[in-house]
Amino acid sequence: MLLDCQEWEYDRTSIYSTVGSQFNLVCKRSFAVKMITSIYMSGFLLGCTLSGLVSDRIGRIKTVAITAVGQAVFGLLAALIPVLGIHIACRFLVGACTAGTFTTAFVISMEIIGPKYRMQPGIFVQGFFAAGFILIACLAYFIRNHVTLQIVVALQPLIFVLYYWFYPESPRWLLSQGRYEEASEICKRLAKLNGRELPENFSITEEPFEMDIPDKKVKAKEVHKPQEKKQRGTILDLLRTPNMRKRTLNVFFSWFVVSLCYYGLSLNAEDLGGSVYVNTIISGLVEFPAYAMCCVTLNRFGRVRIHVASMVTGGVGCIAAAFVDIFWLKITLASLGKFAVSAAFAIIYVYSAEVFPTVIRNAGVGMASTCARIGGLLAPQIVLLNAFWQPLPFVLIGALAVSAGLLALLLPETLRQPLPETIEDGENFGQSRITQVQLEIEP
């Protein structure tokens, strides 16, 4: 119940200022604090969708640079302009730009790496996400003024602007646009960085080719399938054909559930008591073992099996925690749930970047991330269901996790499979051999 009060006093012993204290969001206005967070997540939701469309049109690197500048500009405005309406609007735009930077950078990191090594950077990215989670808690511990903290955080994304000049565009995206010469040049640069040497006349074309590299015999064969040089895809292509439609809806549901579980469990961390800074750091630390487990198991057992196991384990842990009254056991089971859900979150990122075809990959990952943001928006409401029945939030989260895990059994495995390039490749993925360029390296 929100109280109607005329006078109030802030406890500044641990935190000097917050958004709530700056705009006096107390008593009947206290709901606005959570509303601002929900609006930020709404911006993230929109950014996931729009950035995917923009990136598939103008390129990955340009999108990263533009959204990074947006994060800094709108973050500074939110910190420096003491008007609540402007602050809320800027937080919405920061969320949108943050989604654009993160999802696009993730997609290009997956597209630029071969099938054998795709998993490591995909999981490595999630480790940085957890590290950022912990870093925010550490910065907040030493910077108790929220305005100063927001300025420090807002300036950090500007480093991504340098990517425009120093980081190569995705060769796969260039190929999907018919820009073969640019893709060839980037492949030469990447080969040089990896200590390989390509012939001076190396060029990517639609015709089969074979080449010799010192100390390595590399045969490159392409099973050619007629297609437009500048094939473009839209979001509708995700649902246009039967196999793509079933696969897309399944992946979207996994993203929705894993995000709902992740944020639902994270919101319960404050119920542990003690220092909010320590609790936040612990909540971030528990993710690292999950990512380490993924690095060890994904290339051995595949993406789908480990994702299913993680979702089901997390779900069972949450349901069990709902009916346990012993404090340490309840915390252990809840931590097991967070561990498993963190692993599932990392896996679904990697899997999504591998299963969608290049021409709509960023749009697909963006829409999937949009579904995750919807889950994130609903997570606070799920937690409030304990007013009707105390175990209900954990039971609901656990049941959804188990359901999503079992449905994921229907998804095709992507381990060591070439990335699908065209819409037709995506439809046939897991059904038959798709059009692909294979590099066979023989001693």
Shared domain for 260 and 246, answered yes or no, is: yes
Q: Is residue 2 part of a domain?
A: no
Helix (H) or strand (E) holding 212: strand 209-213
CATH number, domain of 132, equals 1.20.1250.20
Give the span between the Cα atoms of 278 and 269, in whole angstroms.
10
Residue 221 β-bridge partners: 438
Inter-residue contact 249 to 356 (CB < 8 Å): no
Angle between helices 392-407 and 303-322 (to 10 degrees): 160
Give the span between the Cα atoms of 126 and 286, in whole angstroms.
12
Q: Helix, strand, or coil here: 2?
A: coil
Shared domain for 202 and 280, answered yes or no, is: no
Q: Is residue 234 part of a domain?
A: no
Shared domain for 255 and 137, answered yes or no, is: no
Q: How far is CA 233 from the centre of its chain?
A: 21
Whole-number pLDDT of residue 1:
47
Amino acid found at 281: I
Closest CA to 53 of 175, 232, 241: 232
Whole-number pLDDT of residue 434:
37
Whole-number pLDDT of residue 278:
77
Shared domain for 254 and 401, answered yes or no, is: yes
Residue 212 β-bridge partners: 217
Shared domain for 155 and 248, answered yes or no, is: no
Shared domain for 115 and 197, answered yes or no, is: no
DSSP state for residue 118 in the 8-state scheme: S
Structure tokens at 132: 């950022």
**Measured CA distances, 72 to 64, 156, 305 (Å):** 13, 7, 40
In this structure, are strands 209-213 and 216-222 parallel, antiparallel, or unpaired?
Answer: antiparallel
Whole-number pLDDT of residue 118:
67
**389: exposed, middle or buried (C-beta count within 10 Å: 0-12, 13-18, 19+)?**
exposed
Q: What is the dihedral of CA 146, 136, 259, 317, to 10 degrees?
A: -120
Whole-number pLDDT of residue 116:
67
Q: Is residue 227 part of a domain?
A: no
HSE, side-chain direction, 13 A CA sphere, residue 320: 18
Query: How would you label 90-121 residue by residue, b for 16+ Cβ within 10 Å and e otherwise?
Result: bbbbbbbbbbbbbbbbbbbbbbbbebeebbee
Q: Is residue 230 part of a domain?
A: no
Q: Is residue 214 part of a domain?
A: no
Per the structure, the complete domain to which residue 84 belongs is given by 12-167
Q: Helix, strand, or coil here: 298?
A: helix
**Measured CA distances, 149 to 85, 282, 375, 395 (Å):** 20, 21, 27, 37
Model pTM above 0.85 = no
Shared domain for 163 and 189, answered yes or no, is: no
**Measured CA distances, 276 to 98, 133, 285, 384 (Å):** 25, 13, 14, 20
Q: Is residue 21 part of a domain?
A: yes
Inter-residue contact 155 to 306 (CB < 8 Å): no
DSSP state for residue 209 in the 8-state scheme: E
Final residue of a domain: which of 152, 184, 207? 207
Shared domain for 296 and 391, answered yes or no, is: yes
Shared domain for 329 and 182, answered yes or no, is: no
Shared domain for 203 and 317, answered yes or no, is: no
Match 């405005």 to its residue by tokens: 77
Inter-residue contact 417 to 354 (CB < 8 Å): yes
Shared domain for 332 and 313, answered yes or no, is: yes
Q: Is residue 309 part of a domain?
A: yes
Question: How many domains does the chain fold into?
Answer: 3
Shared domain for 175 and 304, answered yes or no, is: no
Q: Is residue 221 part of a domain?
A: no
Whole-number pLDDT of residue 273:
52
Closest CA to 228 of 296, 177, 162, 289: 177
User: pLDDT 10s digit of each residue in the chain, 443 long?
Assistant: 455 676 767 776 667 777 877 777 777 776 677 778 778 888 888 887 788 788 888 888 899 999 999 999 999 999 998 898 999 999 999 999 998 888 888 778 777 776 667 667 767 777 887 888 889 889 988 988 888 999 999 998 898 888 888 888 888 888 878 888 888 888 888 777 777 777 766 776 654 333 333 444 444 444 344 444 455 666 777 788 888 888 889 999 999 999 988 887 776 665 555 577 877 787 788 889 999 898 888 888 889 999 999 999 989 988 888 788 777 787 778 778 889 999 998 889 888 888 888 778 877 877 887 788 888 888 877 776 777 887 888 889 889 999 999 999 998 888 877 778 777 777 777 664 433 333 333 33
Give the span between the Cα atoms of 119 and 307, in whole angstroms.
13
Whole-number pLDDT of residue 71:
94
Final residue of a domain: which of 137, 167, 197? 167
Whole-number pLDDT of residue 426:
75
Final residue of a domain: which of 116, 139, 167? 167
